[in-house]
Structure 1
Amino acid sequence: MGADQTIDWRNAAASALEWWHEAGVDTLVDDVPRDWFAAPEPLIVAPAAPAALSVSPSAMPLVLADFLNWRGGAEVPEASWSGISLAASGPADATVMVLVDCPDRDDGDAGALLSGGSGRLLDRMLAAIGLARDAVHVAAVCAKRPTAGRIQSEVEDRLAEIAKHHIGLVAPRQLLLLGNAASRAILGTELQAARGRLHRFNHKTAQTGTGDASDVTTVVASYHPRFLIEKPAAKAEAWKDLQMLMGEQISQKGVR
């Protein structure tokens, strides 16, 4: 019994949920009891609604301050989730933007993204390439932390659309994507495939590829600080990613 009292049941439950999510289990129970021996009901397919009656997602604000207020409101996918909605931080006209997947478990207590151990490591990573946190715009694909720490597939596309709109409002010269969810949202590519090379993101059209120089953000994908804390051996690879970002900064300064 003495050993049981030392267990952090909240973190243990969250860890178990993350494990089940990785195993492909995304529903714990049905909302109502099910009679497993009942004959299946006939499938009724409703006719498709006319295209003219389809409802498009509500328009997102075109001014960053208005967008950030909207981001914590009732029209976003996380509105019904439990927890605190954490806004982005940093200058509206930042040259460098950092995008992560979602708040860490301890960010809610501080009321800010990357406020714990992950944030301290990020600060050291930024300092290594001559950047300070207060000069960087920091945001998350999810404004709230999902229950199991993983973004549900049914909201991925909408959250990606919102994140791309956010990037367009900041229009950074460089974008650092930290973690697999951020890479998937912006580049449509798993992190391991995205790492090791520069990507171009047209923040006006929200598409990867080329465009006018003023419309293109250079993108580097790397590991999330929380992963580096768990797997210190990956820090050498993360440093290579940061060097790419730093090299692009120097190159662009030389052009100006």
Structure 2
Amino acid sequence: MGAELTTDWRTGAASVLDWWSDAGVDMLADDEPRDWLAPPVVKREAAATPDAVAEPVEEKLPDTLEAFVAWRLGEDAPEAGWMTPRVGPQGSPDAPLMILTDMPEAGDTESLTGGAPGRLLDRMLAAIGESRDSAYIASVATACPIGGRIPPEQEERLISLALHHIGLVSPKKLLILGQTANRVGGAADGSASLNGIRDIKHSGGNTDGVTIRHPRFLLDHPAGKADAWRQLLLLSRGTSQ
């Protein structure tokens, strides 16, 4: 009979540990089986209690026209980062007629609604016995975006600022130019009727207003001038037809 085979368990255990170390396992494993291919469990934070939810802060706007216009042209205005000239309102705020456009024209630097659209507006105003000198002219946006369109994510705030502007002026009549400016009347997309006098509600009360297609639109679509003329007559006469 051969000699009985003996095993040194210490040497065997050391050999196993050396093998696992060479394999890259350098930490203790759990006693329970683990699915290493399962996705990690993400611990979610407890939902905030109602007391921890911050209440929306209502924006405090300047309550005088002079301060408001200065703020609209200052570095805290929404258009401050647009990298295009900002143009303030023109005319006397005591004028009975206020004209609201969407934005300055691309070439405007000192006054609103210049170029070919401005010349068309001047002719339309003259036809009803009005002029820039007899009106206060303001814009929803104080600058013309590089792309020529007010960013959709800023439009709602700019409309609310325009309504505040109207409230500070409290004109007797309001001429609105274009679909974007027409949103001051409450239509979410500016598509409210272009037929008839509308009651524009603002912080200063109510103002009779009419909307026409913007002069820059009418230059490309002359057929719309007939409707614009009818609206201007309503504004001039103050009665519906």
Same fold (TM over 0.5): yes
**Alpha-carbon distance in 2 for matches of 1:46, 1:85:** 46
Residue 204 of structure 1: how far off its partner (Å): 2.5
Name the CA shift for 1:62/1:179 in 2 (closer, same or farther; >3 Å).
same
Q: CA deviation at 1:189?
A: 5.0
Secondary structure at the aligned position of 2:180 is classed as helix
Write the distance in 2 (CA, Å) between the matches of 1:79 and 1:129.
Answer: 36
Q: 1 CA distance for matches of 2:135 and 2:57?
A: 36
Higher helix residue share:
1
**Residue-by-residue CA offset, 1:50-72 (whole Å, 9 max, x unaligned):** 45554332x22111111111110
Task: Classify 1:46/1:74 alpha carbon distance in 2 versus 1 (closer, same or farther; 3 Å).
Answer: farther
Please report how far the alpha carbon of residue 73 of structure 1 lies from its aligned counterpart in structure 2 after TM superposition. 0.9
Deviations 1:123-177 (A, max 9, x none): 1111111112111011110001112211122111210111001001110011111
The CA deviation at 1:237 is 1.0
Computing the radius of gyration over CA atoms, which structure comes out larger, 1 or 2?
A: 2
Letter of the structure 2 residue corresponding to residue 67 of structure 1: F
Is the Cα–Cα contact under 8 Å of residues 100 and 177 in structure 1 kept in the other structure? Answer: yes
Provide the secondary structure at the position in 2 that maps to 1:193.
coil
Count of residue correspondences: 196
Distance 1:192 1:239, change over 3 A: farther
Number of the residue aligned with 1:218: 208
Distance in structure 2 (CA, Å) of the matches to 1:130 and 1:98: 15
1:56 to 55, 58, 73: 58
| TM-aligned CA deviation for residue 245 of structure 1 | 0.5
TM-score normalized by structure 1? 0.70
Corresponding position of 1:162: 161
> CA 1:78/1:117 → structure 2, altered by over 3 Å: closer, same or farther?
same
Matched residue type, 1:157: E
Aligned to 1:116: 115
Q: Partner letter of residue 57 of structure 2?
A: V
Aligned to 2:75: 74
Counterpart of 2:171 in structure 1 is 172
- Output the amino acid matched with 2:210: V
- The amino acid that maps onto 1:81 is W
What does residue 144 of structure 1 align with? 143
Unpaired stretches in structure 1, ≥5 consecutive residues:
1-41, 206-214, 252-256
Please name the residue that 2:33 is paired with: none
Identity percentage of aligned residues: 41
> Secondary structure at the residue paired with 1:86?
coil
Aligned-partner Cα distance in 2 for 1:231–1:182: 19
CA contact (8 A) 1:156 1:185 kept: no
Q: Which amino acid aligns with 2:125?
A: L
The Cα shift of 1:185 comes to 3.6
**TM-score normalised by length of structure 2:** 0.74
Structure 1 residues 45, 74: closer, same or farther in 2, change over 3 A?
A: farther
Listed as ranges, the matches of 1:1-256 within 5 Å are 50-52=52-54, 54-57=56-59, 59-108=60-109, 111-188=110-187, 190-204=189-203, 215-248=205-238
